[in-house]
Each structure stands twice: as C-alpha cells, then as structure tokens.
Amino acid sequence: MKSEGSKLQEELFYTQKHASELLSEQQVKDADQFCEGYRAFLDSAKTEREAVCTVLNQIEKLGYQPFDPKKSYVPGDRVYLNNRDKAIILAVIGSRPIEQGVRIAAAHIDSPRLDLKPNPLYEDNQIALFKTHYYGGIKKYQWPAMPLSLHGVIIKGDGQKVQVNIGEDDNDPVFCVTDLLPHLAGDQMKRTLNEGVKGEELNIVIGSRPFLDDEASEKVKLNIMNILHEKYGIVEKDFLSAELEAVPAYKARDIGFDRSMIGSYGQDDRVCAYTALKATLDCKPVPEATVVTILTDKEETGSDGNTGLHSAYLKYFIADLAATFGQQGRTVLSHSTCLSADVNAAFDPTFPEVNEKRNAAYINKGVVVTKYTGSRGKSGTSDASAEFMAEVRRVLDKNHVVWQTGELGKVDQGGGGTVAQYIANLNVDVIDVGVPVLSMHSPFEIVSKLDTYMAYQAFLCFFND
C-alpha cells in the first residue's frame, strides 16, 4: 500500500525516469534495430557532402523528384532541393492548404574537423605533411595520434571534379597528426590545455619516401605529388580549388557491455539528421501539414555562407514552394512550426560541476526539448514561447515519446546556439529538440540508442500530428 504522501507525490511532482522503464521490451528491441541503420549512415556520411550524397541515394529510389518551381504539386508529392551538394531540403506535400503553414525539422550535417589549407603540401626533414585549418569548435589536443581519413573534392584547372575518400576502407592507408613523446614534452606539458597542441601544430603526416632522382629537391614532396598525379590526375595548384577534410578514420561502434550506446565521430549532428531523415521517409503518405526537412551545412562555423541556415536558401525554397500554390512565402512561414533538431550536452558524471543537475539532460532519459540555448543572459537564442512548448509537449506525451528538458550547462558556464534563432527570425515558431551527447565535439562522441530512437519518434509524431 502506498502512503497518501507518495500517491500525492506521484500526482504532483515531475520526475524523469530511465527510458527503459517507460518503454516496452519490443520498443527497446526496435531502438537497437533502428540504430543498426544509424551506424551505417555514420560510416557512409562523414562530411556534409557525403551526407547529401547518401541521402540522395536513398530518396531517389523512393520517388523523390527535384523541386521545380514551375511545376504544380498535389498532396503526397515528395520533392527535394539539393543546395550545392552540401545541404538538402526534403518536402512531402500535405493535404492542408500550404498557407496554413508547414512543419519544419532542421538538422545540420557538418561536424568539427581539420580542413586542409589552400596550399597544404610541404616537405620538412624528408617528411611530407599537410597544413590544416580546423573547422568548428574543437579541443585541439584531442586530434593528434589517431588515424585520420581524407574526404572531399578537388576541382581541377579544367573544371573537372575529383572525389576523394581515402582512409575508410580497411585496405586504405590512413594519415595522422603527431604528438610529442612524454620524455621530451616537459615544456609542452606546462602549456594550458587550450594551447597544449596549437593550431599550427595540427600538421598531418602523409609520406616519407623520396622520389629517386639525383637532381630534384624536395624529393619526398615530389614523390607524394607524383602519386597524387597518377591517382587523381592533379597538380599542386589544384589544391587551391579543393575542399579536403580530415576526419577520424574509425567506424561507429556499439559502446558498453550492454551495447546501449553508440560511439562515433560526427554524431553532432548526424544523429538528428538521420532521425529527422528517417521520420520524413516514414511519415504518412499524405501528411496533413506539408513536411519540410532541412539538412544544412555550416552550423559549426555559425551558419553563415550560402549553404548555412543564416542564408536565404530556406526562405527562397518556401517562397518558391508557396508560389506553386499561388501563395506568398511569408504567409507560409508565419504559420509554420519548426523543430530545430540538434544535440544537447548530456550530464557527465566525471564532470558534474558544469551542469545544474535539475536542468541538465541525461543519457537514456529520452529526447531533449530545449526551450532556449544561448549564453550569459540568454544571449543568442530565440527562446520558444510557453505556448509552443506546450504544443510540443502535448504531441510528445500523446504519442508516448520519452522526453526530457535540458539546458546547455549551468548559468554563465559557457553556452552555445543552434540554427533555431535563424529560423525563428523568419517568424516561425521554433524549439530545439535533439539527442543528449557525451564528449560532444570530440572525435568520438557518445549517444544512447534509446534517446536516438526517441528522437526519431519525436520527429515522426510532429510530422504526423
């Protein structure tokens, strides 16, 4: 028999349980199954370009057509817009008039990494190396002494595009940033963690054998350039018109004796990109509201640039889509709602001091709904309204999605933002919904499989509601 007090407590208090206590055995199995597909996605989509390519391969089989502003569309039509092979918008036309608004989910497919500099190749003491410029927020000391693969494109002088993906196949070579041996690191160890490895020390070793010739200089560099010329038909100047990105070469893995988590590079934000994508593919054949899913680039550098969400490409797409129904883009946007699908920091028992435990997100407590992000006095956030938060809460609870709330760290500890503010600035109701992550922005981020599956369910019921 429960006491009156504990009955009253159950009725009045808000507590968040472990997702496995709230889900059925079958749902836990479904979550594990769902994450098999997710792991494969992580391995095939390590950069924004590869993510777009992987998505295109999936959706073209499913009847998605390139969006054409001159065509007219009917409920159930599925279209996409490829923005420069680095961002993509998918839409499923709903039965409700478009001027009543669309349902948007926006995730990003870029992740922190090491980009090659425009002039990367050099030889020093008979070792060939690449100079890099890091992309996004990284802790630089985390990047030396691990296998790296190289991904991207090189556009040659004649305009021909060369795709590069080397270091992922077990038979491929990999690359590596070196670190100093502890025996000689006395001075380095006195540096702050921030300066432990400096930006200009993130040089990638790529070769060490010389081209056999008596006359030529820089023979190791020459030998590498000769290999690259034979493999890709490129000359050194072609690096000037290239985008080459070094990322961890290892694959996504299950973590834990219970296999309850996934460890991988690039889960911020491919965990939300994948779950939003799957929810789009799996939503009702004819949803009520038109579904618009955006997988964007450049979030990690502040969303600027024509493939980032600070640009007008979403606004233009909505305007063009609205026009096919004889409507104005601004009318559609003003009645639209959006889940900004991005990860949040999970409470880490090893570093509890950065969070306020009553308002932190925890792994396995479900998808995180974050009313506001930003830093200091809520600077740089769109801060969703209580009304919209209530609407999202209603949809999630009605569909038995396990969810929690969470702030990004305690007040004045730091903070960060997402694309929410840029979409909200278009007069859309936006809230952040995503998966809690351990070791976020590290080369090996950790998420829970149950949370990942709950994110998928959250996007699915938002689209189908």
Decide if residue 429 touches Mn ion (CB under 5 A).
no
Closer residue to Mn ion in complex, CB, 324/439: 439
Q: Least separation, in Å, of the C-beta of 299 and Mn ion?
A: 6
Closer residue to Mn ion in complex, CB, 279/343: 343
Q: Least separation, in Å, of the C-beta of 395 and Mn ion?
A: 23
Q: How many residues bind Mn ion (CB under 5 A)?
A: 3
In sign, the C-alpha dihedral spanning 411, 422, 430, 86 is: negative
- Residues, the chain, total? 465
The SS3 call for residue 114 is strand
Identify which of 290, 292, 288, 278 has the alpha carbon closest to the alpha carbon of residue 81: 292
Closer residue to Mn ion in complex, CB, 269/451: 269
Among the candidate windows 28-36, 237-245, 336-344, 419-427, which touches Mn ion by CB under 5 A?
A: 336-344
Closer residue to Mn ion in complex, CB, 55/93: 55
Cα–Cα distance, 6 to 39 (Å, whole number): 42
Closer residue to Mn ion in complex, CB, 288/383: 383
Single residue of 123, 245, 268, 429 touching Mn ion by CB under 5 A: 268
Closer residue to Mn ion in complex, CB, 133/209: 133
Among the candidate windows 96-104, 339-347, 387-395, 396-404, which touches Mn ion by CB under 5 A?
A: 339-347
Q: Residue 97 contacts by C-beta under 8 Å, 6 or more apart in sequence?
A: 325, 327
Among the candidate windows 124-132, 240-248, 264-272, 447-455, which touches Mn ion by CB under 5 A?
A: 264-272
Specify the long-range contacts of residues 52-56, CB closer than 8 Å, at least 24 apart. 52/82, 52/85, 52/86, 52/87, 52/88, 52/109, 52/295, 53/85, 55/88, 55/90, 55/277, 55/295, 56/80, 56/82, 56/88
Q: Least separation, in Å, of the C-beta of 308 and Mn ion?
A: 12
Closer residue to Mn ion in complex, CB, 111/223: 111
CB atoms within 10 A of CB 155: 15
Single residue of 110, 269, 407, 451 touching Mn ion by CB under 5 A: 269
For tokens 């351990």, the residue is 438
Closer residue to Mn ion in complex, CB, 100/413: 413
Q: Least separation, in Å, of the C-beta of 446 and Mn ion?
A: 14
In sign, the C-alpha dihedral spanning 359, 258, 146, 148 is: negative
Q: Least separation, in Å, of the C-beta of 15 and Mn ion?
A: 28
Single residue of 77, 168, 245, 342 touching Mn ion by CB under 5 A: 342
Among the candidate windows 61-69, 243-251, 269-277, 306-314, which touches Mn ion by CB under 5 A?
A: 269-277
> Is there a contact between 179 and 198 (Cβ–Cβ < 8 Å)?
no
Q: The tokens of 66 are what?
A: 């390139």
The DSSP output letter for 437 is E
Among the candidate windows 255-263, 335-343, 366-374, 382-390, which touches Mn ion by CB under 5 A?
A: 335-343
Q: Cis before residue 269, ω within 30 degrees of 0?
A: yes
User: Vertex 173, ends 206 and 253: CA angle to 5°?
Assistant: 120
Q: Which residue is nearest to Mn ion (CB)?
A: 269
Binding site for Mn ion (CB under 5 A): 268-269, 342
